[in-house]
Every structure is written in C-alpha cells, then in structure tokens.
Amino acid sequence: MPLSMRALILERPGSPPTLSVSEVPDPEPGPGEALVQVAACGFCHHDLLVMKGVLRRGVKPRVILGHEVSGTVRRVGDGVATVRAGDRVIALLTNACGGCDRCRQGREHRCRHGEGIGHGRDGGFAEQIVVSEFSLVPVPDSLDLATAALFACPIGVALQAVEQAAQVRPGETVVVTGAGGGLGVHAVQLAGALGARVLAVTSSPAKAARLAELGAAAVLETGPLDFSEIVLAFTEDQGADVIIDTVGSALFPSTWRSLAQYGRWVLLGEVAGGPVELDPAEVIFRDARILGSSGVSRALVQQVAEMVSWGPAKPVAGRTLPLEEAAAAAELLAQRGVLGRVLLVPP
Ligand SMILES: [Zn+2]
Ligand SMILES: [Zn+2]
C-alpha cells in the first residue's frame, strides 16, 4: 500500500494557473467514508473556471480539482454499510451526509452539509479520493469504468435539464447550444432519445458529422451568420419549443430569438460569465419560461447508468490524457478542440 499518491494541485489560480503534479499523503477514510482508487476523472468547464480564478467562492486552498470521478473502492472507514472494497463506483458531485432532510428526500446534491467534490474538498485529479459512502453510486459490471466518470456530470446534469427542467416531449423541436461540448453532446442524445427533433448549434464544423450520428437532425454553425435565422427556417418561423443552453451570454440574443411562443429556455452553462440585456415585455408576450438547472440527484445518475446500459445514451470522451497533461487538457477545453469530454487518468 503506497503511503503517498500523485495528485494535481491547484497551487494558484490565474491565467495561466500554477499547477503541480505532486506526491501528497494518501487520503484516509474517516467514519462513514470510502477510499476510492480513481479510474478516470472528466475535465469540466467548472474546473477551468476555478483554475482561472473566475470561480473562487468556497474553493479549498491548494484544492485537487475534478468532480467527474469513477473508480474502485479500496477501503472503507468505520460504520460504512452501503459499499465495500472492490465495488466499482462513481461519485456524485457533492459529498453528501446522507442524514439531512434533503439527502433523505433524494436531493443529495443539495445536502445541507454538502461540500463540492473538487471544489470545497479534494476531487478526482489524483490517484485516490475519499468521499462519504452516500456520495457513491454503483457502476454495473457490463459498463466501461473510465467513461462512467461522466454519468453524473455532464450526462446526469444534461438529463436533469432535458427531462426534468425542460420536460421535452416527443415531436418537439429542441435547440442545443454548445452541442459539441460535454453537456451539449449528451443533451443532443438525450433530447433525441425523448423523441425530439434536435437542432445542434456548434462553433466547430468539424464536429458536425459526429453530432448527426448522435441524433442531431441538423447541425447549425455559429459564426458570422445568426443561427436563429436557420432555427426559424427549420420551424416555419415558429422557433424552437425548447432551448438547452450550455453557452449562455456569449450567444445571446441569437438564442433568445430562436425561442417559440410558450417556449422553455433552460440555462445550464455560462461560459463567458457576462450579463445580457433582456426586455421583460418580450418574456411576457412570448409566454416564455426561463429556467435554470444545475447538479444532479442520485436517482438520475442511476437512470443514466440504465440508459447507457440499454443504449440511448453514450458517454462521449473525445480524448483521454494522463494526469500530468492537465494543462494540455485545459487548453483543449478552452479551444473547444474535443468532442464531448477530456478524461484525465492517474498514473
Ligand atoms: Zn462537470
Ligand atoms: Zn445531507
């Protein structure tokens, strides 16, 4: 049993951030906790924002980032009853206490004592991670453990937006912005699986063919052309019933112009971090619903595992890189150079 492990430490946020791959002491599982040997960890836009120092609130100093974690339980602390050594697992996005009212209601991701994994406490850009037993979800033996890292974020987060927030129905037209990114590429699949006609909006024409394979009825490129014109052309000037927006302010107002009367616009990603100008009268007279969606519950993560098992959802990880190449992974993400997620794997 090694006494130390390799981990990616965020020494100092900034542009560029100061990162180091260091030897740190093995984390020790306390009562109710499990030590997990990390198989893979997805590199999320959230990680990029913390690295740059855009997201600072609640971030642990010298944090080990990464909240999209899969692996195998190695050891458990006292009193653990729901997992044991050898179990293949994925972590929820929040370290949940399992006992508060929200955990008991199945809203573990809003646990009153919850800490963000890879944010308020150390995450999965490391060989090992310790989380509470209530933060772990089993991975069926038939499924690939590395790509299972994506079951909570981004796939579960996308599922919550598409199925629960937007309540997409068969035959509806759904626009997905940022369709080539981690949230987008899975939202395209999930909306398609619910019977919607999906219009995928991307800035990367090279991703168009794969998006069509994954269920997009049409791929619209952002660029000099306002993509809302194409959405209106596809919908006989009605606009889209639903917009799953993983980009936010950078594509406003094209996104807003794409929304139909009675349309639902679900915001689940904000890449640039800027305000938009919205005329309340337009919201009123369009009978529009603007919804925010973040996080994912245990039940939805389990639903993702089932959907991957029987086919309608496929984890898309365009690249897998060793932990040491985290800076290259950050650059790929910033340049939108990969379809879906980049996975980091420990040595
Ligand atoms: Zn994520
Ligand atoms: Zn709780």
181 CA distance to ligand 2 middle (Å)? 31
Q: How far apart are the CA of 299 and the centre of ligand 1, in A?
A: 17
Q: How crowded is the C-beta side of 310, counted as CA atoms within 13 Å?
A: 6
Distance 153 CA to ligand 1 centre (A): 4
In the structure, ligand 1 is a single-atom ion and the residues with CB under 5 Å from it are 44, 153
Under the banding of pLDDT at 50, 70 and 90, the label for residue 1 is low
Across the range 98-104, mean pLDDT stands at 95
pTM: 0.95
Q: Round the average pLDDT of the chain to a whole number and report it.
A: 95
Which tens digits make up the pLDDT trace of 249-274?
Answer: 999 999 999 999 999 999 999 888 88
* Mean local confidence (pLDDT), 331-347: 92
**Residue 127 CA, ligand 1 centroid: distance in Å:** 18
Q: Which residues pair with 37 in a beta bridge?
A: 72, 128
Question: 51 pLDDT exceeds 90?
Answer: yes
pLDDT band at 2 (very low <50, low <70, confident <90, very high): low
pLDDT value at 83 more than 90: yes
Tens-digit pLDDT profile for residues 318-337? 999 999 999 899 999 888 88
Distance 68 CA to ligand 2 centre (A): 20
If you measure from the C-alpha of residue 148 to the centroid of ligand 2, how many angstroms do you get, rounded to a whole number?
A: 24
Question: What pLDDT shows up at residue 334?
Answer: 86
Q: Which ligand is nearest to the CA of 150?
A: 1
Tell me how far apart the alpha carbons of residues 114 and 264 are, in angstroms, rounded to a whole number: 30
User: What's the 31 CA to ligand 2 centre distance in angstroms?
Assistant: 15
Q: Give the Cα separation of 217 and 192 in Å (integer).
A: 9
Q: Is 237 exposed, middle or buried (0-12, 13-18, 19+ CB in 10 A)?
A: exposed
Q: Rounded CA gap, 152 and 180, in Å?
A: 18
* Nearest-10 crossing angle of helices 326-334, 45-52: 100
Mean pLDDT of the 282-311 span:
96
- The Å distance, Cα 156 to ligand 1 centre, comes to 10
Per-residue pLDDT tens over the stretch 167-224: 999 999 999 999 999 999 999 999 999 999 999 999 988 999 999 999 999 999 987 7
* Ligand of minimum distance to the alpha carbon of 298: 2
Q: Looking at the CA of 113, which ligand is closest?
A: 2
Q: What are the E-state strand segments in 157-288?
A: 173-177, 197-202, 218-221, 240-245, 259-267
